[in-house]
Structure 1
Amino acid sequence: MKYRKLGNTGIEVSEIAFGAEFLVERPYEDTEVLIRACEENGINFVDCWMSEPDVRSHLGRAIKPNRENWVIQGHIGATWQNNQYVRTREMDKVIPAFEDFMERFQMDTLDFGMIHYVDQLDDYNEIMNGPFIEYVRKLKEEGTIEHIGLSTHNPDIGVLAAENPEIELLMFSMNPAFDMFGAMGDIMDYRAEDAFDDEELSSLNPQRAELYELCENNGTAITVMKGFAGGNLLSSETSPFGVALTPVQCINYALEQKGVSSIFVGVKTVDELMESLKYCKATDAEKDYAEVLRNAPQHSFRGQCTYCGHCAPCTSEIDIASVIKFFDLAKNHDKVPDSIKEHYNNLKYNATDCIACGDCEERCPFKVPIVDVMLDAQDLFNL
């Protein structure tokens, strides 16, 4: 495992980090096994944006014996309300949720307090000119958090964060498909071919290229989320390029971008973790993604669900990401497999509970037509 410094902080973290989102609703033993595997393979960096109480408690318990070896990103503004995740700026919800995070992680000091999921300019301005940032500053002054970070999918917000000296780390969604997006997820063309040497290839949207360079120049660390696009890039059926990339290629893509220190890999099992760790010993040929991109159609993930969960909370308490995931799995079959139908039917609320309010669509970073998908899911699973 190789290590990189996080911008100007001087903190060194493993190039491959652990994104723990798939530990939600899993027993403690699964967390224990994955954390030990991370430690045995040199991973020392973890992100926890999830507000579900058990996943926080499980991670805190598993990490505690070797806490001094871990660098932790924890999110401020991710709350648990009515048994579901809610992003909020309401301080009467934000403060107890963060206190809960610290208690469940069994620690007094958090390495990076992340301002959670800021994709809109109005939201950013409200945060930076109101009680939210005052609370974050207070946490840092007291030593409860050592550094301030911010997570976003929007390069315009990323630029504002990189230009703000208070924000030392930017958690940003990055992969060959998402890097075709401009601000707010609009489809943008690749740069003109004559802008590059024949031996090189870049699919970076100019706004994103400028963001990454700005972060490198300013010493604002970038940590990468959604490097596999929710797993879509790993399958030829869901990849926008019509061919699957490997975890190694996706990891290499992210780590080659300017300003990037580390990439969080979301894995469910040790076997999946080991697939990502193959990067550490991979040859240049195994890391190469250029040939795939050189011959790929230029289209993005606009409208494609990556199951990130940012659409929550649902007015009807539907686990939207799970419904869409089961729908995506089922729609490619002539008949819905019994196993998928069983998982879908075991959801407490499903697509039939959707009231088409559209609130979820306003929060979706990738403009998925969620209401339409819910209708399609109703038709498919009710056949």
Structure 2
Amino acid sequence: MKYRNLGSTGLVVSEIGLGAEWLERRSKEEVQEIIDLAESCGITILDCWMSEPNVRTNIGAAIAGRRDHWIIQGHMGSTWQNGQYVRSRDMEKVREAFSDLLARLQTEYIDLGMIHYVDEIADYRSIMEGEFIEYARELKKTGIIRHLGMSTHNPAVAKLAALSGEIEVILFSINPAFDLLPATEDINTYFAETYDDSLGGIAPEREELYRICEQRGVALTVMKGYGGGRLFSQETSPFGVALTPVQCIHYALTRPAVASIMVGCTTPDEVKAAAAYETATEEEKDYATVLAHAPHHAYFGQCTYCGHCAPCPSGIDVAMVNKLYDLAVMQDHVPASLRAHYRDLSATADDCIACGGCEKRCPFGVPVTELMKKAAVLFGHAEDSN
């Protein structure tokens, strides 16, 4: 296992981390097996955003007696209410949930205290100007959290966090489908192994974010590196070709400022598949050639989340709705986290007025209006089932 500096925190972490979200589906014994294997592979960083009590307890039991081995990303604002996950800014509930996290993980401190899931600028400003940040500062002052971070899917929010001078680590969604604009030139030249040459095809706001983070010593840890598994199938990949776990990991780890990719693992085999990156050949890591030879029509009809569809007269973040929809349909059921992400959007697919302006601006011929109808049905059913 290779290790990287975690920005300017002074911490060093394994470049492959364990994203613990899917451990909610596993028994205590299975959680123990996966965490033991991850540790034996040299993995040292673990992200626990989940509020569900059993998974927190199971993780705590699995790392008992070995707490010092692990650098834990623990989230503030992820709460458990009436038997389900709820992102909250209610400070009484935030405090209660974070105390519960400490107790169930059997620890007196969290290495990286992450302000949980901040995707809207208004939410960011409310947090950074109000009681929430004061609570986080107090936790840091007393040593209950050692470093302050934030999780977001929005590069605009991530940029504000990186420039704040206070946020030290950002948990951010990174993979080729989320990053790339349409390839109109040879993308082998885009992805040379230097940062100056490697970012030509990435959305400008994401390119800017990566550079700011690198310049300021703000670490990026990566979520959704596999795109919910969508990138592993030729049929569901927006490129029309399948990538491997090793290629997705390599993509994330070649972005500026990235310290570690949090790989979600539900089985020992998935841990091994991620750890195989450390012994992979350069040919096995090479995503650039695969993408460069993707079918020319790979993008047509499929949302690549580029944002050309904006602005929407109803205020819908079309790219985000499509991203959440794509991630949801890859699962047997809609995960609670995706339901919450969708529910917390300022405007959802239900607000679509079918004006068609987004479809005229889309460079890939995506049937946006139809996708909004599908998203409204999918997430509406998911909410009704609760």
Give the TM-score category using the shorter length: 0.7 to 0.9
- 1-structure distance, mates of 2:40, 2:273: 15
Once the two structures are TM-superposed, the CA of residue 279 in structure 1 deviates from its matched residue by 0.5
2:289 counterpart of 1:286: no
Equivalent positions of 1:1-383 (< 5 A) are 1-180=1-180, 189-190=181-182, 193=185, 197=189, 200=192, 202=199, 203-296=201-294, 297-298=298-299, 299-300=303-304, 302=319, 303-305=322-324, 325-326=331-332, 359=343, 362=346, 370-373=375-378
* CA deviation vs aligned residue, 1:144-184 (integer Å, no higher than 9, x gap): 0000000000000111011111110011000000113xxxx
* CA deviation vs aligned residue, 1:293-334 (integer Å, no higher than 9, x gap): 2234345154144787xxxxxxxxxxxx5x872379xxxxxx
Q: Is the 8 A contact 1:179 1:205 kept in 2?
A: yes
Q: Is the 8 A contact 2:186 2:292 kept in 1?
A: no
Q: Is the 8 A contact 1:113 1:148 kept in 2?
A: yes
- 2-structure distance, mates of 1:199, 1:19: 26
Q: Is the 8 A contact 1:190 1:205 kept in 2?
A: no
Unmatched 5+ stretches in structure 1: 181-188, 309-320, 329-346, 378-383
* CA deviation vs aligned residue, 1:264-296 (integer Å, no higher than 9, x gap): 100110011111111100010000001222234
Say if 1:59 and 1:6 are closer, same or farther in 2 by CA, change over 3 A: same
Residue number in structure 2 paired with 1:316: none
Say if 1:361 and 1:221 are closer, same or farther in 2 by CA, change over 3 A: closer
Residue number in structure 2 paired with 1:340: none
Q: Is the 8 A contact 2:188 2:292 kept in 1?
A: no
Say if 1:105 and 1:306 are closer, same or farther in 2 by CA, change over 3 A: farther
**Sequence identity, in percent?**
49
After TM superposition, the structure 1 stretch with the greater mean CA deviation from structure 2, 34-43 or 230-239, is: 230-239
**AA partner of residue 326 (structure 1):** D
Q: Is the 8 A contact 2:246 2:277 kept in 1?
A: yes
Once the two structures are TM-superposed, the CA of residue 248 in structure 1 deviates from its matched residue by 0.1
SS in 1 for 2:157: helix
* CA deviation vs aligned residue, 1:36-68 (integer Å, no higher than 9, x gap): 001111001100000000111111111122111
- 1-structure distance, mates of 2:37, 2:167: 31
Say if 1:193 and 1:26 are closer, same or farther in 2 by CA, change over 3 A: same
Once the two structures are TM-superposed, the CA of residue 370 in structure 1 deviates from its matched residue by 3.0
After TM superposition, the structure 1 stretch with the greater mean CA deviation from structure 2, 295-304 or 68-77, is: 295-304
Once the two structures are TM-superposed, the CA of residue 25 in structure 1 deviates from its matched residue by 3.8
Say if 1:16 and 1:327 are closer, same or farther in 2 by CA, change over 3 A: closer
* CA deviation vs aligned residue, 1:212-260 (integer Å, no higher than 9, x gap): 0110100000000000011111111211111110000000000000000
Say if 1:127 and 1:83 are closer, same or farther in 2 by CA, change over 3 A: same
SS in 2 for 1:325: coil
- 1-structure distance, mates of 2:128, 2:208: 23
- 1-structure distance, mates of 2:348, 2:277: 31
Q: Is the 8 A contact 1:50 1:56 kept in 2?
A: yes
Once the two structures are TM-superposed, the CA of residue 206 in structure 1 deviates from its matched residue by 1.2
- 1-structure distance, mates of 2:347, 2:271: 30
- 2-structure distance, mates of 1:361, 1:158: 17
Say if 1:374 and 1:155 are closer, same or farther in 2 by CA, change over 3 A: closer
Q: Is the 8 A contact 2:49 2:75 kept in 1?
A: yes
- 1-structure distance, mates of 2:187, 2:293: 17
Q: Is the 8 A contact 1:324 1:373 kept in 2?
A: no
Say if 1:193 and 1:117 are closer, same or farther in 2 by CA, change over 3 A: same
Query: What is the aligned residue count?
Result: 330
**AA partner of residue 254 (structure 2):** E
SS in 2 for 1:51: coil
- 2-structure distance, mates of 1:46, 1:260: 15
Q: What is the TM-score of this pair, normalised by structure 2?
A: 0.79
Say if 1:43 and 1:307 are closer, same or farther in 2 by CA, change over 3 A: farther
Say if 1:83 and 1:198 are closer, same or farther in 2 by CA, change over 3 A: closer
- 1-structure distance, mates of 2:70, 2:30: 18
Q: Is the 8 A contact 1:45 1:70 kept in 2?
A: yes
Q: Is the 8 A contact 1:360 1:370 kept in 2?
A: no
Unmatched 5+ stretches in structure 2: 193-197, 306-318, 350-370
